[in-house]
């Protein structure tokens, strides 16, 4: 084998890169991570998953949202919530996660190189240190590209990070607006639209598709839409944005959005959220024999290996599903395959957690998919308001929905909206993974009072439908 500086070099220290590097280090390999930012953790820790979910938690607490079912819609913990109030919690959690990530890297004896990387050839990278210490070339037997993504910023949209901003810019806003337009109703757009609306911001949500979150069960989406409208969110679906401009209309700085239908929407600020682009521009991928797509993403096989055999890709930079949870597993599988360590492929049954208000989580197939496949099924539902725990926590609007095969009773899908959905879904995920039936929930004893009882109630509801 050629004499390389490292057995594995990982580009990016986000969830995928961190997990890949640690897996390789556990195999007693010489490993380095190249991270261009001063802090580790990637977008997930610094501007994405962790900050946005912490921001959401702060909003839920300070707005009193969780207690309104008990004490009324006027209940708040703090009136006149300011951005600074939200950032106290966000900054604390982010610093902690950065420290945890750095500690894991160092204690596994992984070398951390703070530099910009670009390929010279499939085994060589040119590094330019971001602290001004110069540059050097390094070589590695295996290379994993886990560079992550950044918010897409088209040239024709005047994004300044303050008045017209992306999800990456939210922590840098000067203040909370009274009115906000969100362009793009994907997961990120829906999450922030509901978060700002919970704070009392008048939100308009625009998307070119006629329904939200097309991969989520339609009944769950309908429930989300209802809650959004209850929070005064205006939905403009099936609408194309023609242009966006910053204006001063005499009432201060505003954003004016022109729709192809002729409508005009004016708000104090606009969140532009039409997707994310792979952070591969500066990597000189052509020198490694790779060509990204028009969104900067690289293609990989089931083992996350690119067309250049010694180079792998993992995390958001390879596209769907672009979840921190799946990115971690992708990084681990890539590192194992690179060093011929047998491992199971990533399971198809991974859960989605969508941190809107209220929260959504889903695993398995939905009604639309099963209908298209011609699979006979039945559903069982449990409303949180039917469960003692739902009354205790004040969530009277949550819903857990089970879908199972009409004849075999095999569980096919679990779909939840409401408090704790992203935790609750893992019970159903385990039953799905082991090919279980809905009957399992009929015979299982759940702690009382818990939201987990929804599974038993939903199972009885579904089975009882069969005997009607």
The domain ranges of the chain are 6-151+277-338, 164-273, 358-466
Provide the β-strand partners of residue 305.
Answer: 312
**373-420 tens-digit pLDDT:** 999 999 999 999 999 999 999 998 899 999 999 999 999 999 999 999
pLDDT reading at 1 higher than 70: no
Over the chain, what is the mean pLDDT?
Answer: 95
Choosing among 3.30.390.30, 3.10.20.90, 2.160.10.10, 3.50.50.60, the CATH entry for 358-466 is 3.30.390.30
6-151+277-338 has CATH 2.40.37.10 classification: no
Q: Cα–chain-centroid distance for residue 325?
A: 9
**180-225 tens-digit pLDDT:** 999 999 999 999 999 999 999 999 999 999 999 999 999 999 999 9
Q: How far apart are CA 204 and CA 370, in angstroms?
A: 33
pLDDT at 468: 61
pLDDT reading at 258 higher than 90: yes
Closest CA to 249 of 268, 233, 236, 230: 268
pLDDT at 71: 87
Provide the β-strand partners of residue 361.
Answer: 353, 416
Specify the length of the chain in residues: 468
pLDDT reading at 348 higher than 90: no
pLDDT at 399: 98
pLDDT at 135: 95
pLDDT reading at 372 higher than 80: yes
CATH superfamily of 164-273: FAD/NAD(P)-binding domain (3.50.50.60)
Do 164-273 and 6-151+277-338 have the same topology in CATH? yes
Answer whether the bond into residue 300 is a cis peptide, omega within 30°.
no
């Amino acid at each position: 084998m050629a004499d390389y500086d490292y057995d594995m070099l990982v580009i990016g220290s986000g969830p995928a890169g961190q997990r890949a590097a640690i897996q390789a280090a556990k195999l007693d390999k010489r490993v380095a991570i190249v991270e261009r930012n001063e802090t580790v953790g990637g977008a997930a820790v610094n501007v994405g998953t962790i900050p946005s979910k912490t921001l959401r938690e702060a909003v839920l607490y300070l707005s009193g949202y969780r207690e309104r079912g008990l004490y009324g819609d006027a209940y708040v913990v703090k009136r006149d919530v300011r951005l600074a109030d939200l950032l106290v919690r966000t900054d604390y959690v982010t610093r902690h996660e950065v420290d945890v990530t750095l500690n894991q890297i160092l204690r596994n004896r992984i070398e951390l190189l703070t530099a910009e990387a670009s390929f010279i050839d499939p085994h060589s990278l040119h590094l330019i240190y971001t602290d001004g210490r110069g540059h050097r070339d390094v070589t590695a037997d295996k290379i994993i590209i886990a560079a992550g993504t950044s918010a897409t910023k088209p040239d024709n949209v005047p994004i300044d990070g303050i008045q017209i901003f992306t999800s990456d810019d939210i922590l840098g806003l000067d203040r909370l607006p009274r009115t906000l337009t969100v362009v793009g109703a994907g997961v990120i757009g829906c999450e922030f639209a509901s978060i700002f609306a919970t704070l009392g911001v008048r939100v308009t949500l625009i998307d070119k598709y006629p329904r939200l979150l097309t991969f989520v069960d339609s009944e769950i989406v309908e429930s989300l839409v209802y809650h959004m409208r209850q929070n005064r969110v205006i939905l403009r679906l099936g609408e194309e944005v023609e242009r966006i401009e910053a204006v001063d209309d005499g009432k201060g700085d505003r954003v004016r959005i022109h729709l192809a239908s002729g409508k005009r929407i004016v708000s104090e600020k606009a969140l532009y959220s039409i997707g994310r682009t792979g952070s591969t521009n500066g990597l000189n991928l052509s020198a490694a024999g790779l060509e990204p797509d028009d969104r900067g993403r690289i293609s990989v096989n089931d083992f996350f290996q690119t067309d250049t055999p010694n180079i792998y890709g993992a995390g958001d930079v390879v596209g769907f599903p672009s979840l921190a949870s799946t990115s971690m597993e992708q990084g681990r599988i890539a590192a194992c395959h690179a060093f011929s360590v047998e491992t199971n492929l990533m399971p198809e049954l991974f859960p989605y957690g969508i941190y809107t208000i209220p929260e959504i989580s889903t695993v398995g197939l939905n009604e639309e998919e099963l209908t298209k496949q011609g699979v006979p099924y039945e559903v069982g539902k449990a409303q949180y308001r039917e469960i003692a725990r739902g009354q205790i926590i004040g969530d009277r609007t949550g819903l857990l929905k089970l879908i199972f095969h009409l004849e075999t009773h095999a569980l096919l899908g679990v779909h939840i909206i409401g408090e704790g959905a992203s935790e609750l879904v893992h019970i159903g995920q385990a039953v799905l993974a082991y090919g279980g039936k809905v009957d399992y929930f009929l015979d299982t004893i759940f702690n009382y009072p818990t939201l987990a009882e929804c599974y038993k109630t939903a199972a009885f509801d579904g089975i009882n439908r069969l005997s009607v």
